[in-house]
Each structure stands twice: as C-alpha cells, then as structure tokens.
Amino acid sequence: MKIIVRPAVSGDLSPLLTLYSELNPDDAPLPQERADAVWATISHQQGRTVLVADAEGVVAGTADCLVLPNLTRGGRAILFVENVVVAKAFQRRGVGRRLMDAVVRLGESAGCYKVQLLSADDEYVHRFYESCGFLARAEGFRRYIERHDQVM
C-alpha cells in the first residue's frame, strides 16, 4: 500500500470530519456551515499544517500541527501536535508511523527544537509514540472550558 503524507486541502474536509468522528465518537457532528468556517480559519492560520496520510486516494490518517514561535531555546519554535488519528481500517499498516515521521520532518524544517503532543491514557498509543522516538518526559495538565453559549 502506497502512503503519501501531505498537507490537507479543502477537498479533504469531509474525510477529516469522518476521522475525527472516530477519534471523538461522542461528539455531535459539526454542521457543514460551521465546519467550512472552521476549516477556512485553520487553512489560513500562519504556522498551522493539517497533515493527511493518503493511502492510495483514501484519507487514512491525520495530524494537526502548529508551529509556535518561542523566546526561549535560542528563539527556536515548538511544534505542537493535536488530533492524531488513523482510521480503524488502516491501523497497524504503517500509516501512523508515516504520519509521525512527517510531523518530525515538519518540525525540523520549521527550525523547532521539539515536537510536543499529549496522549490519552492508552498504553497501546503510548507504546506507539515511544516506538516513533517520543519520550514521556512531562506530566500534562488540562482544564476543559465549559461552554456557556452556542457558537455556530
């Protein structure tokens, strides 16, 4: 199976939404108008790259990357990675590894000093990231923000 990792384009929005529904199955589907508006913001955001793993014409996986400028480490940026998902039908076929290799190359080309991501508490996923050269080096904290409005 030939896998090409490339930046997502507007025609990838529908398959991306399908992948994200696998990542977060309890989320309500985004209305198309809202999805289009969010995609427009993402695609014009400086330093933001949504990568897709294209497996012979099928969007099989994705990783959302953001280069964050930084005033420490000699001014070298940090690459943050979010929403990494490989479709169930393509797992254990090299798609995730190709995505993570591309993520690291993106960080290198942007002059980043590190690639950082958070992972759910899933031992299988942790072993995967470790096999890709990532180390569990910090404890992550997060605070979810409760919605008080209905932004559409």
Q: What is the CATH number of the domain that holds 54?
A: 3.40.630.30
Within-domain flag for 109:
yes
Within-domain flag for 148:
no
Within-domain flag for 89:
yes
- pLDDT number for residue 120: 82
Q: 68-102 burial string, b = 16+ CB within 10 Å, else e? A: eeeeeeeeebbbbbeebbbbeebeebbbbbbbbeb
Within-domain flag for 118:
yes
Within-domain flag for 138:
no
Within-domain flag for 142:
no
- pLDDT number for residue 149: 66
- pLDDT number for residue 119: 87
Series of mean pLDDT values for 10-residue runs along the chain (152 residues)? 96 97 94 97 97 96 98 98 96 96 98 94 90 90 80 54
Within-domain flag for 87:
yes
Range of the domain at 27: 3-131
